[in-house]
Amino acid sequence: MSARSTGLTKDAGWQVGVSRTLPQSPATVWEFISGPRGLELWLGAGARLTPEPGAGYETDAGASGEVRGYRPGDRIRVTYGDTTVQVAVSAAGGGRSVLVFHQERMAGPEERERQRAHWRRVMDRVAEELDRPA
């Protein structure tokens, strides 16, 4: 496979994933990422969603979509425009967790690279927020 086709899948088009091991427990990361502030960081300002498949959501900027999957403590999967975004939390051992943002069904390699940079910025902001004293 050439570098040009990195991120191209047979069934889901262009995709990208960004992950990071965080020092907080999976429960702490989940509580944040599925709560109001976390949702705003990865979906957009004003984002609120009902945690059930088929429920719609909208952000203050007018982005909208539908919840495709919601497993408490594990993952949220939503449509976002013509793409699908999933955020997942898992245990990493030693009280740490792994947070993953995954986006699929993107139009091409340029969008993939833009979204990789976007998810890296989101991950940085999530890590900063989680590091702040409560």
Q: Is 1's pLDDT higher than 70?
A: no
- Reported as a pLDDT band with limits 50, 70 and 90, residue 101 is very high
The H helix count followed by the E strand count for the chain is 3, 8
pTM, whole model, 2 decimals?
Answer: 0.90
Average pLDDT of the segment spanning 87-91 = 98
pLDDT band with cut points at 50, 70 and 90 for residue 83: very high
- Specify the pairing of strand 13-22 against strand 8-9: antiparallel
3 DSSP assignment: G
Tell me: pLDDT of 3 over 60: no
Q: Tokens standing for 38?
A: 């976390």
5-to-15, 59, 104 alpha-carbon distances in Å: 11, 32, 14
pLDDT at 26 exceeding the cut of 60: yes
Percent of the chain whose predicted confidence (pLDDT) is above 90 = 82
pLDDT of the residue at 12: 66
Residues 6+ apart with CB under 8 A from 85: 42, 43, 77, 78, 79, 101, 102, 103
Average pLDDT, integer, range 108-127: 95
